[in-house]
Structure 1
Amino acid sequence: MVAKISVGNSLYGALAYNGEKINEAKGRLLTTNRIYNDGTGTMDIHRAMEDFLGMMPVRSKVEKPVVHISLNPHPDDILTDTEFQNIAREYLEKMGFGNQPYLVFKHEDIDRHHLHIVTVRVDEDGRSIDTRNNFYRSKQITRELERKYGLHDAERKNRRLDTPLRKVDASAGDVKKQAGNVIRELNRMYKFQTMGEYRALLSLYNMTVEETHGNVRGREYHGLVYSVTDDMGNKVGNPFKSSLFGKSAGYEAVQKKFARSKQEIKDRKPAGMTKRTVLSVLEGTYDKEKFVSRLREKGIDTVLRYTEEGRIYGATFIDHRTGCVLNGSRMGKELSANALQEHFTLPYAGLPPIPLSVPVETREDMRGQSASDHENTAGGVGLITPEGPAVDAEEEAFIRAMQRKRKKKRRKGLGM
C-alpha cells in the first residue's frame, strides 16, 4: 500500500476536490471524525468547511495546516468498505491524527479503488501535530497494515506474474512443460495447508495431484503423482511423477510447504479478510451461481465438491488477493459445506435476498460513526489519473437501503 501525503493552505480546495467527485457518484464518503456525516455517502462541502473551522483556532502560527493523504492498495487487493475504513482509522491513529477532525473518501473513478483523506495538523489550542519524519513513519505504518490485512506490497514489482497463469491444455502439446510451470508458480504464489487445499488450487488450472504410498525392500516411501484434467475434472493423458518437476514438487517439499503456510497464515491472519468478503457476498444472494461469480469478481475463486446425489460436501476458497487457499470450515461453521448446502437449498434459494437486508461490509456505515481526513488541493488534484469508471454493487445496495429508510420517514411525517 502506497501512501502519498501533501500539506497546504487551502482547506476548501481539498474538501471541494473530494466532495465534488463523490457527489458526482465517482466515489463516496466512507467515514468521518468530528465532522457531520449524514450516512448517504455524499457530503455538504460548506457544512464540512464550517465544522473544520469551528474546531480550528482563528489565529495559528502553523504554516500549511491542511493535510491531504491518499492510500493506494496494490491493484490485486480488493477491499471491502469496512476494511477500507479500518485501515484509514488505524493509519491516522498511528500517524497522530486519530483525534483530529477528518474525512475519509473512497475514490471509484478508476478500477483500482483507493482512499483520500482530508484532515488538519493543528489542534484546537493552535498547537501543531508532530509531522517530523512523516515519510518514514508512514512507510513503516503501511508495511504493518499490509501484514495485518494480508495485503500485497504495493511498491514491490512483479509480485504476481506479468502474464497470468493459464490452464494446462493437453491439446496444445508440451504438456509436461505446461504442468511444471503451473506447479512451480502455484507453490511460489500461494499458501495452502492441506492436500485438499492444494488439490483445489491445482483444479483451477486443469491439474490434480494424488499421494502414493508403498514399501520397497522393507522401506516405506511416500510420493506424489500429478495429472492433467479437462474442464470437467476428468484425467487426460498419462500421469507425471513429481520427480519430473524437481524436488520442490515432491512429497516432502509439499509437506514443508503446508507447515510454512500454516505459520504464515497464523502470523499475518489473512483468513479474516477472506471470511468477511465471502460472508458479505453470501448474505447478498441465495443463488449459488451468483455467489460464485460475485466472489470471482472480488478476486476469490470457489471450488465446490459434490456427492453423487449433488450435495455439497466440500468448499474451498482461493483468495488471489492474499494468495491464500482456505477450506470453508477452516474459517467457521457458517462457511462449512453443510452450512452452504443449507443456504442454497432454502425455500427461497435462487430468489433475490430480503429487500431490507444490508451487506455485512456496509453495516458500520449505518451506525453514523465518524472518522475521516482530507488532502490538500495542491496534492489532491493529479494524484491519481482517471482510467475509467468502477461500480461497487454492495455500495449501491447500501445506498438503496438508506433511500428506503428516508422514504419511510417522509411518509410518517405526512401522516401516511
Structure 2
Amino acid sequence: MRAKILSSTSSFNGVTYNTNKTQNEKGELTRLRNFGYLQDTKEVGPNEVKNFLIAHSNRNSIVKKKQFHAMISCKGREYSKEQLTDIAHEWVDKMGYGSNPFLIVFHKDTANNHVHIVSSRIDMEGKKISDSFEKLRAQEAINEIMRLNPRHEAGKAVDKLKGFQFSTKAQGMMILENLGFKLREKNERLELIKYGSVQGSIPMSEIHHKIKSYEKDKSRSNQLKAILDKYSKVYQSNPAPLFEPSTSNLKQKHIGYRSDLGDFLKDKFGVELIYHGKEAKTPYGYSIIDNSSRVIFKGSEVFPLKNLLEQASENKAYQSKDKIKDLSIDRIGGKVKLQSALNDFPTVQKGMEYHALQFEKKDGDSYLKTSEGDIPTKDILSADQQLVLSKYFSESGEQSTNQNQEEFDLMPMLNIADDVDDEAVHGRRRNKKRKGDNELTR
C-alpha cells in the first residue's frame, strides 16, 4: 500500500481532474465530507465543490497553494473500492484533514486500484495545516493503518485458506492459527478472532467441501520425502520448544516448536514444519504446510517423525531470513513497530520481543537501532510513550533484545509510476477536454 502527496496548486484543479474521470466512467466519487449545505444535495457539480473549497480556504490570505491532493494505491486489485475508501478516510484523519471538507474518488483506469483525496490545506480557523515531513508521515500513516486493520488481515487469511488443499478440519484451522487468529465455531461459521473481536468468518460448509475434495498429491509427497531425508542430515532437526515472552516469574506458556531444519525449509522451499506437542514435551506428530503446492500434508504420510528425530545430522547452524529482516528495519518500520510494541500487546516486554527491537543507551537517552542508523526514541514517541518505554527499561534492566520472533508483514511498497495516468496530475493538459459541468453523485 502506498500513499503519495501530489503537488499543491493555487486553485483546486484536482477536483476537475477527478470529476472528469467520474464522468467518463473511469472513476467514482465514494465519499464527500464536511461540505456543509452541499452534503444534503442529491447531485453536486464540480464547480460547486471547487467554490466551496475556495471559500473555505479564503480564511487565509497568505498561503497561496491551498489545495491538498493525495493518492493512495494498492497492488493490482488487492483492495476493493469500499476498502480503499475506508482506508483513505482513516488516513485523512491521521494526516490532520479529517475536520476539513474533503472528497475521495476511486479510480479503476490503471493496473492498480487507487483513490484520490482532495481537500484544503487551510483549517476551520484559517490556519495552515502543518506539512512538516509530510511525505514521510503519509506513508507512515498508511503503515500504521494497515498494521492495525485486522479485518483486512482476516480477509487475506480466509483467501489464503481457500487456496489450500487439506484433509482435516484441524489442518484448515492450523493455517488460520498460524496467521495469528483465535478460532470459534458459531452458527455454522468459523469465526476469526483477534484483539478480542470477530474480524471475519468463513462458512463451515466451505471447509467441509475442501476436505471432501482433497486428493493426496503422491508426486509432491515423494519430493518432500526426499527433501526431508536430505536436509535432516545437514541441519539440526530436533524441535526446540518456544514459550510466550513474559516478565513475570510465572511458568511461561508453551506456544510451539522450532528447529534449524524447519527454518531452512521455510526459507528455501516455502515448506513449514508444524510440530504437535503439549507442555514442551517431545512432539507426538507434525504437519507439513507446503506453500509452494498449497497443500497440507500429515507428516506421517511423508516422512515418519521417529526417523526425523533420530536422523544423525551435521548440526549445521542456520540463520533464518526472518531474523535477518528483524535486524534491518528502516526508520518508518522501526517507528511503527515501536509504537505497536507499546500499544498492541498485554505487556511492553511481549511487544519488544515480538518485533525484535534493538536499542542502545547513550548519555541517558535511548536510541532505536535501524538500517538507517540509531534514532532517538524521544524523536518518534509522545511524552506518555517515552515514560512507558523508560519504565520498561528500568523494570527489565535490558537495553536491547534480539530474540527470533515472527516479524509482522509491513505492506510492500508499490511503485506509483505504474499508474501512468496519475503521475503528474497538475500542469498536464489532456488531449481531450470536456465542456460543461459534470455531475457528481454519491
TM-score class normalised by the smaller sequence: 0.3 to 0.5
Q: What TM-score comes out, normalization by structure 1 length? A: 0.41
Q: What TM-score comes out, normalization by structure 2 length? A: 0.39
